[in-house]
Structure 1
Amino acid sequence: MTLALRPGPLNLITDVPGLTVGHVTDEAVCSGATVLRTDGFWAAAVDVRGGGPGTRETEALAPENLVGKAHAIAFAGGSVFGLAVADGVVAALSALGQGLTLKPGSPAIPVVPGAVLHDLGNGGDKAWGLEPPYRRWGLEAVATASREFALGRVGAGRGAMAGHLPGGIGSASLDLGGGLVVGALVAANPIGSVYMPDGITFWAWPFEIDGEFGGARPVGHAAVVDPLPDASRLAGLGRLQAGANTTLAVVACNADLTTAECKRLAMMAQDGIARAVRPAHTPFDGDTVFALASGAVALGESRAVELGRLGSAAADCLARAIARAVFEAARG
């Protein structure tokens, strides 16, 4: 009999050894930042499928380019202003001596890709003039990063929406046995709905473990034929605009993946968004998935098979993380 797989002890992305997460949440601004730190220079890649992304240093992670690794991933609200969170993370990590050193005596150069979501229309105080707070939040998030962190309306998910409902930060993990652990972290701000037509059951329900997002199950067989539910309502909320919505995610594992293999991990993980949100990858979203691998656990001879298993697990974790984000946001 096959044993059921379980989440790690925290059911967070930080069940992958070597990761920590820091949030900064500003209630006055109704925005925030979330930073995922690694304990070294991890293999990394990114896959972008939304039509309105807001990103930084994604080309540095392309398999054909030189770097293909990262010291941290930075997420924030604030649209283009939020990209400055990574500036703060870079400064903080460099001051700690973390980063590439190309010449003795020169500053350490951290590689910190990132992405942002749009929360500028949520009523918070955005009158920051020439001093947006996002760089400062990056500094603070690095200083407060730990293995345990909050979910829901915190950090980069503070001003997020999921359709017309509150979005937020979600995370989940899965222990695959043999020392392999996979996890996902998401800032959920999609235009699509995370709920089935009953408005109660998450699309991600088949992947739920131990009632982690409420345990609701579908009753009956409501037809799913409307390709963009609540379109008129979303238009009235200003959601049907390019870049006004997105799902930002990181999936991570402790396998010894290359940058190219991390790219495949990120590509497969995108299916987690499609499993948890309908519709996904629209012209209005900026759906972006980063992938990280620490290299601590060597894969066997059936490397492609194991990579496929890791990618499928990453997609499942991401679907669960999205549902957890909205579930925890609703709980306040």
Structure 2
Amino acid sequence: MLQPGPLNLITDVPGLKVGHVTDERVRSGVTVLRPDKVWRASVDVRGGGPGGRELAALEPENMIGELHALVLAGGSVFGLAAADGVAVALSQENVGVRVQPWTPAIPVVPSAVLHDLANHGDKDWGLEPPYRQWGIEALAAASERFAIGAVGAGRGALAGTRRGGLGSASLGLGDGLWVGALVAVNPVGSVYMADGRSFWAWPWEIDGEFGGRRPDGTLGHRDPVPQLSRLESLGRLQAGANTTLAVVACNADLSTAECKRLAIMAQDGIARAIRPAHLPFDGDTVFAMASGARVLEQGARRPVALSIVGSAAADCLARAIARGVYAAEDHATPNT
């Protein structure tokens, strides 16, 4: 049986670090993923109300197809400024693309944001939202070890009508090949089955990593969109008011097009762990990153190898969703 890495975090993929800023007054935050060099990457968007930056730069038909850092943030459109801070800080380190030797380095820093503006945190920031500075601080805090739960981009998140959060998980595939996932969980749908305590992702749990809860076997069919009236009262049935933001990473030598396929396959992890998913109101976005350190099989066998990595990525993402919410459950509710 495949097992998680020593940290059971996305940073079990060698060369990757993650940093958070969490602000309890604003009830929001920023999470930055920093690779050790430029990594190949792509993105797949399945939700109907996404919010992001530089997503087109990661499409296989375009020129870039790689990144120097990746940012997830709360704050809706205001959170996009976090990537500005990361880009400036990296440029000061001479990290990025140079058009000419004398021009500043231009980092490629894609970003995606979630809506947490209605959680009664202090959003009275006038003309100076804090996200740009938080991006700089989260980049500086990047480490192989990081917290999960109500932290970083997941601080103000809701999963349906319950506490959301930020989760991560990893899986070793053998021969030095690693896959990991990180996710900020803020969907319309629920991560819980009809009993309100066992996770939809329970079949993929490893070693009780999100509580070892099992459904009792007598559960009936739950409502397609649970607690509809409560969601409406929270203003969540609007495009852009909800999302699941995810990153899957591996150390395989993937092309940008192969990263795109990895992101597409990993979306199944959202569908396994959240019911329903990919709604018109969600902004479900999955990034895929690859360091290139491990060479996959070539020729006719390469699609098979990519399929194995993609399947593991979907499993990691389902587990990361449940782990993030489970870790956030004992935190104070976001509306108090």
Give the counterpart letter for 1:109 in structure 2.
I
- Hey, what's the Cα distance between the residues in 2 that align with 1:310 and 1:294? 13
Asked if 1:321 corresponds to 2:320, the answer is yes
Structure 1 segment 174-193 matched on structure 2, within 5 A: 174-193=171-190
- Is the Cα–Cα contact under 8 Å of residues 201 and 272 in structure 2 kept in the other structure? yes
Equivalent residue runs for 1:1-332 within 5 Å: 4-301=1-298, 302-332=301-331
Distance in 2 of aligned mates of 1:312 and 1:237 = 35
Give distance in 2, aligned partners of 1:218 and 1:253: 32
Q: For the residues of structure 2 that align with 1:200 and 1:62, how far apart are their CA atoms?
A: 38
Which amino acid counterpart does residue 125 of structure 2 have in structure 1?
Answer: W
CA distance in 2, matches of 1:319, 1:199: 17
SS of alignment partner, residue 174 of structure 1: strand
Q: Which residue of 1 aligns with 2:334?
A: none
SS at match of 1:40: coil
- Alignment RMSD, CA only? 0.8
TM-score, normalised to structure 1, is 0.98
Identity %: 71
In the alignment, the residues of structure 2 paired with residue 212 and residue 97 of structure 1 have an alpha-carbon distance, to the nearest angstrom, of 40
Q: CA deviation at 1:105?
A: 2.0
Q: Alignment partner of 2:69: what SS?
A: strand
Instruction: Give, in whole Å, the separation in 1 of the partners of 2:141 and 2:217.
Output: 46
Distance 2:102 2:136 in 1: 23
Structure 1: distance between partners of 2:96 and 2:168: 26
Q: Any idea what the Cα deviations from partners look like across 1:169-203, whole Å, max 9, x if unmatched?
A: 10000000011100000011011000111111100
**Shift, 1:225, TM fit:** 4.9
State the SS of the aligned residue for 2:38.
Answer: strand
Structure 2 unaligned blocks of 5 or more: 332-336
Distance in 1 between residues matched to 2:228 and 2:190, nearest whole Å: 11
Output the TM-score relative to the length of structure 2. Answer: 0.97
| Aligned counterparts of 2:197 and 2:223: Cα–Cα separation in 1 | 17
> What residue identity is the alignment partner of 1:330?
E
In structure 2, how many angstroms separate the alpha carbons of the residues matched to 1:21 and 1:78? Answer: 19
Number of aligned pairs?
329
Amino acid at match of 1:206: P
Kindly tell me: are residues 225 and 150 of structure 1, through their superposed partners in 2, closer, same or farther at Cα, counting changes over 3 Å?
closer
The alpha carbon displacement at 1:218 in A equals: 1.1
